[in-house]
């Protein structure tokens, strides 16, 4: 059965989607079967993996917001050029909170939709929106674990406390098995004292695993224009090596928990 990981942070601009796309590609490079589920109405993961959300007739929203039990998530999955399978998103997801507000068991919609595909993959990565709305709660309810991308700066650091409180609520109410896998420091500039100070504070403050930082690089901005991961567009770059190392560390970390 797949390990289902929610990649979440309610603050935007912390390289959350970048982490999902490039970690997925690094896991595929290792030989794993990976599904990315785009749960953000901005559909950045969809675009970054080579699909134009505006050209898609159906997306994950058609499953999550449908009351038709015959809607199958597997029918909408697309194989991308990086070898990553993708359940794409579109702007239609923006109406999810309203559409699901009156639905009984609305926190379990994503979990139930994924049930039919978990045996097909080694990893399912859920790219959450930069909010703590119903779809993000769904992702946390569906996941085995959470990865928190975090830019090493004070404002980004402060917002993690609210996310940790939400995770604790989900553990108490809808998913007692949810674990915080760790924090991924992103956009890291080791030349600055401030970034190094924030990095040093993360582990002691939150009591979680802190993975090796992902270096800041212009290569990350260039890759989505090609609809590929940085492993495909700049495979020898430091950013690509960082995500390969993250994939290795993630495997090692979760193997120790088994």
Reported as a single tens digit per residue, the pLDDT across 126-160 is 999 998 899 999 999 999 999 999 987 766 666 78
The residue with greater pLDDT, 252 or 154, is: 252
Instruction: Round to whole Å and give the CA distance between 163 and 202.
Output: 14
pLDDT digits (tens, 9 = 90+) for 73-84: 999 999 999 999
Question: Which residues is 5 bridged to in the sheet?
Answer: 125, 145
pLDDT digits (tens, 9 = 90+) for 34-47: 999 999 999 999 99
Query: Which CATH number fits the domain 3-257, given the four candidates 1.10.10.10, 2.140.10.10, 3.40.50.300, 1.10.10.410?
Result: 3.40.50.300
Total count of residues recorded for the chain: 258
| Helix, strand or coil, per DSSP, at residue 190 | coil
């Amino acid at each position: 059965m797949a390990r289902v990981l929610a990649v979440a942070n309610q603050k935007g601009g912390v390289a959350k989607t970048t982490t999902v796309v490039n970690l997925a590609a690094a896991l595929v490079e290792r030989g794993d079967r990976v599904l990315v589920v785009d749960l953000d109405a901005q559909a950045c993961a969809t675009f970054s993996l080579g699909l134009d959300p505006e050209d898609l007739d159906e997306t994950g929203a058609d499953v999550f917001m449908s009351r038709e039990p015959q809607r199958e998530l597997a029918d909408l999955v697309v194989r991308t050029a990086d070898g990553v399978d993708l359940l794409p998103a579109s702007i239609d997801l923006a109406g999810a909170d309203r559409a699901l507000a009156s639905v009984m068991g609305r926190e379990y919609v994503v979990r139930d939709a994924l049930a039919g595909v978990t045996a097909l993959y080694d990893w399912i990565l859920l790219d959450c929106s930069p909010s703590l709305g119903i779809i993000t709660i769904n992702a946390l309810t569906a996941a085995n674990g959470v990865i928190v991308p975090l830019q090493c700066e004070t404002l980004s650091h402060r917002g993690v406390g609210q996310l940790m409180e939400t995770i604790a609520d989900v553990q108490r109410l809808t998913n007692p098995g949810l674990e915080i896998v760790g924090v991924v420091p992103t956009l890291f500039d080791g030349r600055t004292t401030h970034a190094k100070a924030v990095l040093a504070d993360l582990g002691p403050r939150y009591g979680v695993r802190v993975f090796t930082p992902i270096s800041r690089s212009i290569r990350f901005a260039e890759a989505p224009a090609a609809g590929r991961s940085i492993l495909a567009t700049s495979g020898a770059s430091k950013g690509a090596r960082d995500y390969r190392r993250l994939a290795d560390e993630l495997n090692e970390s979760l193997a120790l928990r088994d």
